[in-house]
Amino acid sequence: MISNLKLCQDRSSTEISVGLVLVLMISGIIAVGCQGPVGPSGKDATGVDVIPPTIVLLEPWPLSDVWDEIEIVASAVDNVAIKLVSFNIDGTTVYALEEPPYTHKLDLTGYEAGWHFVSARAFDSGGNITDTPVIPINIGFSEELDGLPLVSFHNNVAGTVWTLPDSARATSYWTKFPIAKACYLKRASIWLAAVISDTTNIAVEIWNGNEFPTTVLIDTVNLTSEQVDTTLQEHRIEFGVPGVKIEEDFFLVVSLANNSRNDTLKIQADNGKPFWKRSGSRDDDGYHFLMSRYAREDNLFMDCILNYASTVGDTSGDG
Domain boundaries, the chain: 54-140, 149-307
Mean of the per-residue pLDDT values of the chain: 76
Is the per-residue pLDDT at 273 higher than 80?
Answer: no
Residue 6 — very low, low, confident or very high, per pLDDT cuts 50/70/90? very low
> Does position 234 have pLDDT exceeding 80, yes or no?
yes
Tell me: pLDDT of 279 over 60. Answer: no
pLDDT in tens, 18-29: 454 444 444 443
Split at pLDDT 50, 70, 90, the class of 290 is very low
Determine the 3-state secondary structure of 69 from DSSP.
strand
CA distance 200 to 215: 25
- What distance in Å separates the CA atoms of residue 222 and residue 201, rounded to the nearest whole number? 6
Distance in angstroms (rounded) separating the CA atoms of residues 172 and 57: 32
Whether 250 shows a pLDDT value over 90: the answer reads no
Looking from the CA of 168 toward its CB, the CA atoms found within 13 Å total 7
Q: What whole-number distance in Å separates Cα of residue 283 and Cα of residue 264?
A: 24
The winner for highest mean pLDDT among 45-49, 259-263, 284-288, 311-315 is 259-263
172-177, strands of its sheet edge to edge: 172-177, 250-257, 201-208, 216-223
pLDDT number for residue 47: 73
Per-residue pLDDT, 173:
77
CATH 2.40.50.140 assigned to 54-140: no
CB 130 within 8 A of CB 122: yes
Contact 120, 72 (CB under 8 A): yes
Fold annotation for 149-307: Jelly Rolls (2.60.120)
